[in-house]
Amino acid sequence: MAKEIQNPNQQQTLEKKADKNQENNSNLNVWTIISLVEFVLILFLLFRLFKRKEKPTSSNKAFSRDEIVNEKIDYENILKSSFQARDLYDKLKKKCHPDRFPTDLELNKIADELFQEIQKNKTNLKRLEELKNEAILKLKISF
């Protein structure tokens, strides 16, 4: 009698377990599909990344790339030039204009060369300061 009473409960628990397993399996299947889709997506993106043909060869690229990337950049000059180069350039272009030396041909020539250099380096404070010193020496002017 005891056995008969237990059986229905056991059967119920077994049925419940079977349902749960089925549910788990269906969940697993969904996650498996999602992970497969992600894997395919990653492969596709990697394929696109490696597909580019026009990039230079790795050995040539490494040689020139490292040289360029490791080159020392004068950030301080760039930062100072952003705020100070304009004023210095304005002063230099007035003081070193060749028209200020109409009579002396030699000074006129020097002023012309300096003026061209000043025009080329109008955003480079370091170079402008060097040109300023050169102008003081060669053109005998004061600032």
Partner 1 sequence: MLANAWNKIKDWFRDRNDRNETVRDWNNSAKDAFIAGIVPAFLKSRITKGNSKYKHKFSHTFNTGFRVEVLAGRPLTRDDLIFLGDVILGDTSLVRKLVVLGFDTLEVHGENDSYGLQWQLITYLELGS
Residue numbers of the site for partner 1 (CB under 8 A)? 46, 49-50, 54-55, 58, 65, 68-69, 71, 73-83, 85-86, 121, 123-124
Say how far apart CA 10 and CA 109 lie, in whole Å. Answer: 110
Neighbours of 131 (CB within 10 A): 21
* Closest distance to partner 1 from the beta carbon of 32 (Å): 26
Kindly tell me which of 74 and 104 has the beta carbon lying closer to partner 1.
74
What is the distance between the terminal CA atoms of the chain, rounded to a whole angstrom? 118
Q: Which is nearer to partner 1, 57 or 142 (CB)?
A: 57
* Closer residue to partner 1, CB minimum distance, 37 or 79: 79
Least distance to partner 1, CB of residue 95, Å: 21
Do residues 103 and 89 make contact, with C-beta atoms less than 8 angstroms apart? no
* Residues 128, 143 contacting (CB under 8 angstroms): no
